[in-house]
A and B are shown apart, each in its own frame.
Chain A
Amino acid sequence: MSAASTSLARAIRLHAGRLPWGKLLIHATLIGGALVMVIPFLWMLTLSLKPAALTHQPPYLIPTHFEVANYEKAWQAAPFARYYLNTLVMTVGIVLGQVLLSSLAAYAFARLRFPGREVLFLIFLATMMIPLYVILIPSYLIIDWLGWIDSYAALIVPRLVSVFGIILLRQYYQGIPRELDEAAMIDGASRLGIWWRIILPLSGPGLATLGIFAFMFAWNDFLWPLVVINDPDMRTVQLGLAMFQGRYGTQWTLLMAGTVTATLPTLIVFLIGQRWFIQSVAQSGVKG
């Protein structure tokens, strides 16, 4: 606690010493804000467990009895199990692809010497400035031309490379001592052998950070799946939820059961890797 507190903290504490209510006031403000952040989740969860008829009365938070059947109904009304499978395949594909391909490219940029390296890296950087909107139509046309509409390939392949990942890992690799490479080189390892046996095993935290960002991005993504998926059976969870709300717009208990379904995996991943996740945002100032 004392390590984390700064002198600003001490200053405010001094100030708060004069006003005994200062600290309480700070907590009250923070709790008020935190409630605004949390209440939508609480309503989502409790409403998903309430009998449908009662939602039309003035709202109350705690359910009087738990209607787990809402989930059954929601999962029957829309094939959420299928949506989960689709999203899982897509997410695993994107995460593995981004981790592997970014790592390879980052290794080349961090360790290998070849003509045009800086220029190529700049081009990669510049592609970060391309918003999805400007490439949306041609990308759709390419996917259509490839015959990939309504396929996992359409969801995965165009998003296999992450410039953010390449930058992140390149920086990470520059921090790994070169002596390790040289030792392996003398032992007769090839350049790619060094990547596989030296760099990759040492880059766990970097790969994990990229993996978490890629997971969050893939799981929550909406516009691209919306464009390349028409077949209801190929919908991702987010897409399915949006379509579900289009059809069952006022059946709130079912809708909330669907929303909990769509949110739970990211919340669980976040709660597990929470400190780590927040740290990488704080350090890099980067959003997934």
Chain B
Amino acid sequence: MSIVAPLRARWRQANRQGDLSAAALALAPAVLLFAVFNIYPLLYSGYLSFMEWDGFSPQRTYVGLENYQSIYESAQFRNALSVTLKYMVGVTALGVALGLVIAMLLNSGIRGQNIYRMIYFLPVVTSTVAAAVVWRYLMTPGIGYADVFLRNVGLTPPSPTWLRNPTWALRIVILVGLWKRLGFNIVVFLAGLQNIPKDYYEAATVDGAGVWARFRHMTIPLIAPITLMLVIMSLIDAFLIFDVVYVMTEGGPVGTTEVVGFLLYRQAFHYFNLGTASAMGWVIFAIVFTATLILWKFFGVRESGL
């Protein structure tokens, strides 16, 4: 004992000094890259959002809050927000409801659970660009299988085509988003369901609770936290949609699928309104920031690590 104590003290001293230089070395690359490619661009775009600039001319004009005011008043931006909101609600509501139902069916002790789970997860790992190309084919009138299938079940294809009809284009985009998202929700829900202790249900069954009562008063409350987490994550994820729209509809017809991300991209890289686009970026950032804080507040950072 008498030898160990002073050794420990010395070790601690050295350790603390070694810690500092080692930490500096270990963190330097990550900190540097983050400063240059995340923090600085964030501030830079905040600065640009107060400017009028086309990206080429040497002159940037300070316009105060004008960019924010103009997007607030812009019918185009409002339309984009409402389109995005419809997409978010569609993918999230359908994705969470269907995800829960399928996860419960998978959890009902049937055979082949792992195979089903794998199949439902396939679209999650598929690139969105590829998925959008395939679905564009499937919905092509007369050629695509989905088009023919829908005709056979009695749905008349809208005119001129599914993806060029103002009512249907967004629905198809939502369908593709849902197809890509569902497997993720199922896997998370299934994990949640499997975490519920069996005794709970056994006790309830002994007490005479039926299938519906057990679902209503046990399953739902017990998976409510996971559901809320999935809802917020899905909303954030859907809010940032870009690829599907870029490949399938390019925002058309008549702006009915023009989501905020696509509008921002066009404002920046087609019309070179860098100030307006930066202001849009900050609006998007503010919304995602708020949603993420809510997520963290409810679930802690690590569990939800988005």
Contact = CB atoms under 8 A, between A and B. Distances in A.
B198 A238 contact: no
A12 B211 contact: yes
A220 B15 CA distance: 43
Contacts of A266: 125-127
Interface residues of B, number: 123
A101 interface: yes
B274 A137 contact: yes
Given A134-B285, A256-B137, A37 B120 contact: yes
Given A30-B106, A129-B292, A263 B269 contact: no
B94 interface: no
B184 A112 contact: no
A101 B130 contact: no
B102 interface: yes
A229 interface: no
A197 B129 CA distance: 41
Contact of A133 (B23, B108, B264): B264
A156 to B, nearest CB: 11
B129 A241 contact: yes
B306 A192 contact: no
A267 B122 contact: yes
B305 to A, nearest CB: 5
B127 A161 contact: no
Nearest to B16: A113
B168 interface: no
Contact of B240 (A131, A161, A192): A131
Contact of B18 (A191, A277, A287): A191
B266 to A, nearest CB: 12
Contacts of A283: 191
B19 A114 contact: yes
Contact of A8 (B42, B108, B260): B108
Interface string A28-58: 0110011011111101100100000001101
A131 B184 CA distance: 21
B158 interface: no
Contact of A112 (B23, B38, B292): B23
Contacts of A242: 129, 133, 246-247
A164 interface: yes
B23 A262 contact: no
A131 B237 CA distance: 10
A119 interface: no
Q: Which one of A195, A259, A262, A278 has the highest number of Cβ atoms from chain B below 10 Å of its Cβ?
A: A278
Nearest to A215: B125
B202 to A, nearest CB: 5
B122 A270 contact: yes
Interface in A240-288: 241-242, 245, 252, 255-256, 258-259, 262-263, 266-267, 269-270, 274-275, 277-278, 281-287
Interface in B214-252: 214, 219, 226, 229-230, 233, 237, 240, 242-243, 246-247
Contacts of A1: 109, 111
Contacts of A12: 108-109, 211
Given A36-B179, A37-B179, A274-B118, A7 B306 contact: no
A130 B42 contact: yes
Contacts of A40: 123, 131, 134-135, 138, 179
Given A30-B116, A114-B19, A136-B264, A262 B122 contact: no
A9 B107 contact: yes
B129 A262 contact: yes
Interface in B47-106: 48, 55, 98, 102, 104-106
Given A11-B201, A127-B39, A138-B40, A285 B304 contact: yes
Q: Which one of B230, B261, B302 has the highest number of Cβ atoms from chain A below 10 Å of its Cβ?
A: B302
Nearest to A38: B119
Given A33-B98, A124-B34, A134-B282, 12 more contacts: A8-B108, A112-B26, A124-B30, A130-B38, A133-B281, A134-B281, A167-B305, A168-B305, A219-B127, A241-B127, A241-B129, A275-B114
19 contacts: A1-B109, A6-B107, A6-B198, A12-B108, A26-B105, A43-B134, A114-B23, A114-B24, A125-B301, A138-B40, A190-B18, A191-B15, A220-B127, A222-B127, A222-B128, A223-B243, A223-B261, A245-B247, A259-B134
Interface of A: 1, 4-15, 23, 26-27, 29-30, 33-34, 36-41, 43-44, 47, 55-56, 58-59, 61, 101-102, 104-105, 107-108, 112-114, 117, 120, 124-125, 127-139, 141-142, 157-158, 160-161, 164, 166-168, 171, 185-186, 190-192, 195, 216, 219-220, 222-223, 226-227, 238, 241-242, 245, 252, 255-256, 258-259, 262-263, 266-267, 269-270, 274-275, 277-278, 281-287
The 4 closest A-B pairs by CB, nearest first: A9-B109, A191-B22, A282-B191, A138-B41
